């Protein structure tokens, strides 16, 4: 068999080939001395097995059980499964990422049992056995069309090319040529079918040849059964061979001019099926790969030209059409097509006409014996002759390409061994089966025959070698089916077919009838049935019915002498190469038939395979739709039956489901016996066999469940193996859980402590003052200057001293000392920036500086290198009282100037934290900062000489501002009215007591009672069958004496937004009893939109005002404090401003929320609904008015305002404003008299005070410690 004979875990000397000679072999195969057992390790990355990875481990052997296991694995993206050493592959119809270089390396040098099932494991096994034991290997891949045979063959070639080594350039060239055969032969031999978008329409046996070092030196390809009938016709939604579409779509201009190539729609042979494209396939890219493969193979450009000339000739031959003349004979309709075909074949056009429309007949009997007559053909016969010529050219062209590839792959050195890869048609059963299916199924019968023989023989040999007692099983030997088809005496199907072809019949139908008569002699065979116009052969895969019609014609497989004479008259040497045999006009012998050829090829193939050690890959197609993740159990069950998987499992399970060498068995399971292991170490001093016996004894495995061979342990049932694996997993679980428990306790303790420290620190340094400062900065530039996006982030804080000048030690202190900043000055702001430096005769350029703002001065600090020593000095010190104004632009640039006047020029500065600088400077000047914002920047470039710098918005500018020639280029920024986004708020997590882990003592620090004992505990749902905690771990229950309100548990402080939104506090129950949780509250009703009733008619000619009629209901969109409301007519959805006095707001009573179930202590007070008395008073007052009031004199202004933006959802913690002059609130509709934010600011202030008061209560004692 082709399974690896390397011990599992194989020695990794160089690549891992060769066996260790350290231990001397004893005569019976055992090794002397103590076994070298590797220490067992816990497989932390072990992947949980889906189903069983080896079908021999199934508890029940049946086709249905096999199907269920394959389906389960397929649904979890496990497409490979073993049957012993046979690999079963299910096509996933998608890329699973399992053929990468990383995956390939994981199988390199590994035994089959060490890694999951994979096609790479089969390739590794074949390569290892060839190199180590000098045996020729072969991989037989079988399955129906679309099951993935070609893909498996390519992956085997990929693996062998990767691991076979060899740094010689000729060896690498051989590898490249072998891999290049795939795209080349796929283009000429593959086509789109209904079942498969890349179906191989020929069989291929690729034999890779290696030298003694295991390096590839050559290869040879044998092709079988090319489906040449596809050249001239395909069914709907199938295509011709790929090369025709690649050529017609992507042919270079040279070929289009020479051969008249057009699009595939222009040719009959490529347009008959109305299918021109394959989903996901780029024919132009595939054509480039084909051309590249031809170059790698070594095909010269002249040879490529001749190949494409023949393809063009086939396409144009298909466009020759016939019509009946007056005599009913065939006549060519378009002579120009014939002339072009004659040009391509380099023959005379008149000869083409004659060959296609006239047949030469020679009399064989009578007085005029030997006379030759010209017989005109009718249109049907002429079309058949035309198609026969096309098929003959393509068939011979394909054979020539294979021969050309073989000549390039001729071995470049001595050949020691080989690995063959057989990729051939799978078994085919269609609604109508003909001669092609008979030949394909015959070859599959031959392959199944050697599979059964070699599989059964390998099992018998192993049992005999290991001296194991077993009972032979019965199996179906398909040799009788092979004899039924191929035997001459008694005559089989092929012999009867040849006899019918040898009978002289002018009519093919008569020959078919003769064939039917010959088949009657096979009626006594139990595997054969004859029916009207059909016959049935009982194959191993099932009964197949073959149609007799047309079989004799297909079996003759001969070209008319007229067409051979036409090819012989060509002046093109390549045509003579394709048709090398000269026509012998006097030869009367019957040429070999197609059945003779396929029979000879099949026998040669079997002879070749029998000389090698085979490996098997059985491919399965999960569905006919080529859809990923679809598994059709009926289709797969049918394939399981005709692939004979159940019989394969039964043969493999002839007595024992699992076998392993003694050393690997001991290495795997020595942990299960106290006599062979201690604390994970191997302690057995005997040999491997005695160690294996001891393990089986200590695990209480019955004696009838296993046998001991010479070198292996044989386990009878899969359940026994599963029990051993379960015990091994349980051992590791029990050992590892102790370490995990201790480690988790430590991690829990450490993480909990860190969290509490962090929580305490965040509460003490919440950063609210930074948020206030940032919001003040918005007011400094609000509506005047465009903003940068990064300035509006919710996490932005005005931290001030970015350089750390105010810190003690470090580079900040060096800058402070170097700049001579007095220690009494308070550092308000510091950062790095740039100052525009003017030099005589040169253009001004920015230079880096450090800006420091104190409560007295602005320092511009320069850092220079003098004699490789860093010197820090204040370049300029400006008292803040001397600053007359600050000039900046209204765009988003970071440039500004400090207008000072005096004897020195004003500094023009670039600082990314400009807004923060302006804010701190405003505070230092007690609000007296004169900030000038315009479309330019003013500064005194020289004393008394005012200069301006233009600031322009450049769409092509980057995020970094650029200065050139007194102009600053910047990009577009955020609108001037932008405000900061809400601060990202972390999830509130209530503190929990640390009550677990042996590193902790019960209660609080020092063994005292925990302060958390009195904290209200939320009710939890009890877990089923929960285990009570040990008494040593449980904290002592806290007493419940009567306490004063001041000593009651404090609630956890909530964020400001949460406090502002919630107007009531939620008191948790202090009951220690764990009551079941209350049911979830009902879904709250949708919030109703505010409505108002119209009291008086209001007509307006203004476009921004809404005309209303008394008695109507309108929706209130927004209220302004200047006497105008923005309303919307619900019928027309038109919005506009309406006088407030003309409306009466309809206040609906809020629905009473359903209270949760009350706790046992006391019932919960129901919330009191809001009263609408104020609204009633307003309505009564409005009704009392005798006439409609006059609208407010100041009309609303809609310019520049959004029509209906959503109001802010809730106040946020990051944007708390303590300034009463912020009246707009960012609503976008504020009028000069708006005071809508007064109540909001007051509510937030009250919420902030409540939160601060709650936090201050924690200063005396910490709730965590």
Q: What angle do CA 1138, 1140, 1144 make, to 5 degrees?
A: 105
**b/e per residue, 339-377, with b = 16+ CB within 10 A?**
ebbbbbbebebebbbbbbbbbeeeeeeeeeeeeeeeeeb
Find out whether 119 and 156 touch, Cβ atoms under 8 Å: yes
Residue whose structure tokens are 């049932």 = 717
Specify whether 200 is catalytic. yes
Tell me the C-alpha distance between 220 and 372, whole Å: 45
What is the DSSP-derived secondary structure letter of residue 121?
Answer: H
Q: Judge whether 688 is annotated as a binding position.
A: no
Tokens of 578: 């394709």
> Distance of CA 1247 to CAs 113, 653, 1048, Å?
68, 78, 21
Q: What angle do CA 520, 522, 527 make, to 5 degrees?
A: 130
The 712-715 sheet, strands edge to edge:
658-661, 712-715, 706-708
Q: Judge whether 169 is annotated as a binding position.
A: no
Which among 570, 582, 583, 581 has a CA at the least distance from the CA of 306?
570
Which H or E run includes 255? helix 253-259
Q: What are phi and psi of 506, to 5 degrees?
A: -75, -25
Q: Please classify residue 103 by burial: count the beta carbons closer than 10 Å to its beta carbon, then call 0-12 exposed, 13-18 middle and 19+ buried.
A: middle
> What is the number of helices (H) and of strands (E) in the chain?
32, 38
Catalytic residue among 69, 136, 174, 199: 199
Find out whether 826 and 805 touch, Cβ atoms under 8 Å: no
**Stated length of the chain:** 1265
For residues 379, 384, 390, 391, the Cα torsion angle rounded to the nearest 10 degrees is: 170
Find out whether 1141 and 1124 touch, Cβ atoms under 8 Å: no
Q: What are phi and psi of 303, to 5 degrees?
A: -65, -40
Q: What are phi and psi of 396, to 5 degrees?
A: -70, -35
Residue whose structure tokens are 């046998």 = 707
Q: Judge whether 364 is annotated as a binding position.
A: no
Tokens of 1047: 């000593």
Specify whether 196 is catalytic. yes
Q: Judge whether 318 is annotated as a binding position.
A: no
Catalytic residue among 111, 125, 142, 145: 145
> Distance of CA 1221 to CAs 516, 1013, 1122, Å?
108, 48, 17
Which among 52, 46, 102 has a CA at the least distance from the CA of 80?
52
Catalytic residue among 56, 67, 81, 150: 150
Which H or E run includes 756? helix 718-764
Close Cβ partners of 273 (under 8 Å, ≥ 6 residues apart): 234, 235, 236, 237, 238, 239, 240
Catalytic residue among 426, 644, 777, 806: 426
Specify whether 683 is catalytic. no
Give CA 895 to chain center in angstroms.
48
Catalytic residue among 67, 196, 197, 418: 196
Specify whether 690 is catalytic. no
Q: Judge whether 148 is annotated as a binding position.
A: yes
Q: What angle do CA 804, 805, 810 make, to 5 degrees?
A: 70
Q: Judge whether 149 is annotated as a binding position.
A: yes
Q: What are phi and psi of 523, to 5 degrees?
A: -60, -25
Specify whether 1014 is catalytic. no
Specify whether 426 is catalytic. yes
Specify whether 199 is catalytic. yes
> Distance of CA 383 to CAs 322, 386, 387, 640, Å?
7, 5, 6, 42
Catalytic residue among 56, 182, 200, 922: 200
Give the count of beta carbons closer than 10 Å to the beta carbon of residue 172: 14
Residue whose structure tokens are 């990422």 = 97
Specify whether 146 is catalytic. yes
Q: Judge whether 1209 is annotated as a binding position.
A: no
Catalytic residue among 2, 10, 16, 146: 146
Q: Judge whether 875 is annotated as a binding position.
A: no
CA neighbours closer than 13 Å in the CB half-sphere of residue 1049: 19
Find the DSSP H helices in 1186-1256.
Answer: 1238-1256
Tokens of 91: 């096509």
Which H or E run includes 858? strand 857-866
Residues marked active site are found at 145-146, 150, 196, 199-200, 426, 428
- Binding residues for ATP, as ranges, are 143-150
- Binding residues, as ranges, are 143-150
């Amino acid at each position: 068999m082709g399974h690896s004979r390397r011990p599992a875990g194989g020695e990794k000397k160089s690549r891992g080939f060769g066996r260790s000679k350290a231990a001397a072999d004893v005569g019976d195969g055992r090794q002397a001395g103590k076994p070298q057992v590797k220490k067992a390790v816990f497989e932390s990355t072990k992947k949980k097995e889906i189903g069983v990875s080896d079908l021999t481990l199934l508890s029940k052997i049946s086709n249905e059980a096999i199907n269920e296991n394959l389906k389960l694995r397929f649904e979890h993206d496990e497409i490979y499964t073993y049957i012993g050493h046979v690999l079963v592959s299910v096509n996933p119809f998608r890329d699973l990422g399992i053929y990468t270089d990383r995956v390939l390396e994981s199988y390199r040098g590994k035994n089959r049992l060490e890694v999951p099932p994979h096609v790479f494991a089969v390739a590794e096994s074949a390569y290892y056995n060839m190199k180590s034991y000098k045996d020729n290997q072969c991989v037989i891949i079988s399955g129906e069309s679309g099951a993935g045979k070609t893909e498996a063959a390519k992956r085997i070639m990929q693996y062998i090319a990767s691991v076979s080594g060899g740094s010689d350039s000729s060896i690498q060239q051989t590898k490249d040529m072998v891999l290049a055969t795939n795209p080349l032969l796929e283009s000429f031999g593959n086509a789109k079918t209904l079942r498969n978008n890349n179906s191989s329409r020929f069989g291929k046996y690729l034999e890779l040849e290696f030298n003694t070092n295991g390096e590839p030196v050559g290869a040879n390809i044998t092709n079988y059964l090319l489906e040449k009938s596809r050249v001239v016709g395909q069914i709907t939604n199938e295509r011709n061979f790929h090369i025709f579409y690649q050529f017609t779509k992507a042919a270079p201009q040279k070929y289009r001019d020479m051969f008249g190539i057009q699009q595939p729609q222009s040719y009959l042979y490529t347009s008959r099926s109305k299918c021109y494209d394959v989903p996901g396939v780029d024919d132009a890219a595939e054509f480039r790969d084909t051309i590249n493969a031809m170059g790698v193979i070594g095909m010269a450009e002249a040879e490529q030209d001749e190949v494409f000339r023949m393809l063009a000739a086939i396409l144009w031959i298909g466009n020759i059409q016939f019509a009946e003349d007056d005599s009913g004979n065939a006549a060519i309709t378009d002579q120009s097509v014939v002339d072009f075909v004659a040009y391509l074949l380099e023959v005379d056009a008149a000869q083409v006409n004659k060959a296609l429309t006239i047949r030469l007949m020679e009399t064989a009997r009578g007085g005029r014996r030997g006379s030759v007559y010209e017989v005109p053909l009718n249109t049907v016969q002429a079309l058949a002759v035309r198609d026969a010529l096309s098929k003959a050219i393509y068939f011979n062209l394909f054979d020539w390409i294979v021969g050309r590839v073989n000549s390039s792959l001729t071995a470049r050195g001595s050949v020691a061994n080989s690995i063959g890869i057989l990729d051939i048609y799978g078994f085919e059963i269609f609604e109508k089966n003909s001669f092609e299916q008979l030949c394909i199924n015959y070859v599959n019968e031959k392959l199944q025959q050697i599979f059964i023989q070699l599989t059964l023989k390998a099992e018998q040999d192993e049992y005999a070698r290991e001296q194991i007692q077993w009972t032979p099983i019965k199996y179906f030997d398909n040799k009788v089916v092979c004899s039924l088809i191929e035997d001459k005496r008694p005559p089989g199907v092929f012999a009867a077919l040849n006899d019918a072809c040898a009978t002289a019949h002018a009519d093919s139908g008569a020959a078919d009838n003769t064939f039917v008569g010959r088949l009657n002699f096979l009626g006594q065979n139990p595997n054969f049935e004859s029916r009207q116009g059909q016959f049935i052969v009982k194959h191993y895969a099932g009964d197949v019915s073959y149609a007799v019609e047309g079989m004799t014609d297909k079996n003759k497989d001969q070209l008319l002498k007229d067409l051979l004479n036409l090819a012989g008259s060509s002046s093109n040497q390549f045509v003579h190469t394709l048709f090398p045999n000269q026509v012998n006009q006097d030869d009367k012998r019957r040429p070999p038939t197609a059945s003779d050829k396929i029979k000879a090829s099949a026998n040669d193939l079997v002879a070749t395979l029998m000389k090698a050690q085979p490996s098997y890959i059985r491919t399965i197609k999960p569905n006919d739709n080529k859809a990923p993740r679809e598994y059709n159990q009926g289709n797969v069950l049918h394939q399981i039956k005709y692939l004979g998987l159940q019989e394969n499992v039964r043969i493999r399970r002839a007595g024992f489901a699992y076998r392993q060498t003694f050393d690997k068995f001991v290495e795997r399971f020595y942990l299960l016996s106290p006599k062979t292991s201690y604390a994970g170490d191997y302690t057995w001093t005997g040999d491997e066999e005695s160690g294996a016996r001891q393990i089986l004894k200590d695990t209480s495995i019955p004696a009838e469940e296993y046998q001991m061979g010479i070198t292996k342990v044989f386990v009878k049932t899969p359940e026994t193996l599963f029990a051993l694996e379960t015990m091994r997993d349980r051992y590791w679980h029990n050992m590892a859980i102790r370490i995990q428990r201790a480690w988790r306790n430590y991690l829990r303790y450490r993480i909990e402590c860190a969290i509490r420290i962090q929580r305490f620190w965040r509460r003490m340094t919440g950063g609210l003052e930074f948020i206030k400062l940032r919001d003040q900065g918005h007011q400094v530039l609000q509506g005047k200057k465009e903003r940068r996006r990064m300035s509006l982030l919710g996490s932005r804080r005005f931290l001030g001293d970015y350089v750390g000048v105010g810190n003690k030690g470090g580079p900040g202190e060096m800058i402070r000392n170097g700049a001579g900043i007095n220690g009494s000055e308070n550092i308000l702001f510091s950062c790095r920036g740039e100052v525009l430096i003017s030099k005589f005769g040169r253009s001004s350029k920015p230079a880096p500086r450090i800006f420091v703002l104190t409560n007295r001065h602005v320092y511009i600090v320069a850092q220079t290198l003098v004699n490789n020593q860093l010197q820090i000095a204040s370049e300029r010190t400006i008292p803040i009282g001397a600053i007359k104004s600050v000039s900046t632009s209204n765009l988003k640039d970071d440039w500004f100037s400090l207008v000072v006047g005096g004897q020195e020029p004003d500094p023009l500065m670039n600082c990314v934290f400009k807004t923060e600088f302006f804010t701190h400077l405003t505070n230092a000047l007690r609000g007296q900062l004169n900030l000038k914002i315009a479309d330019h920047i003013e500064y005194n470039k020289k004393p008394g000489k005012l200069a301006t710098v233009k600031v322009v918005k450049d769409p092509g500018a980057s995020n970094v501002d650029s200065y050139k020639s007194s102009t600053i280029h910047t990009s577009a920024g955020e609108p001037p009215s932008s405000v900061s986004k809400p601060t990202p708020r972390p999830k509130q997590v209530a503190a929990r007591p640390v009550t677990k882990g042996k590193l902790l003592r019960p209660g609080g620090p020092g063994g005292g009672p925990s302060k958390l004992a009195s904290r209200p505990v939320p009710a939890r749902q009890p877990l089923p069958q929960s285990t009570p905690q040990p008494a040593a771990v449980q904290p002592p229950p806290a007493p419940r004496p009567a306490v004063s309100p001041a000593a009651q548990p404090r609630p956890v402080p909530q964020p400001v937004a949460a406090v502002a939104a919630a107007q009531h506090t939620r008191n948790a129950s202090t009951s220690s009893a764990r009551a079941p949780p209350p049911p979830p509250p009902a879904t709250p009703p949708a919030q109703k939109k505010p409505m108002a009733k119209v009291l008086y008619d209001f007509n307006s000619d203004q476009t921004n005002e809404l005309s209303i009629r008394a008695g109507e209901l309108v929706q209130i969109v927004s209220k302004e404090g200047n006497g105008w409301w923005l309303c919307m007519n619900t019928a027309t959805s038109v919005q506009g401003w309406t006088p407030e006095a003309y409306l009466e707001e309809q206040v609906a009573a809020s629905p009473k929320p359903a209270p949760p179930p009350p706790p046992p202590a006391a019932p919960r007070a129901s919330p009191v609904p809001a009263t609408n008395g104020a609204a009633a008073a307003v309505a009564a007052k409005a009704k009392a008015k005798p006439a409609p009031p006059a609208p407010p004199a100041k009309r609303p202004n809609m310019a520049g305002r959004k029509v209906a933006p959503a109001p802010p959802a809730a106040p946020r913690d990051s944007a708390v404003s303590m300034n009463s002059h912020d009246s707009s609130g960012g609503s976008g509709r504020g009028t000069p008299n708006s005071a809508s934010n007064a109540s909001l600011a007051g509510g937030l202030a009250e919420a902030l005070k409540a939160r601060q008061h709650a936090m201050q209560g924690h200063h005396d004692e910490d709730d965590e410690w």
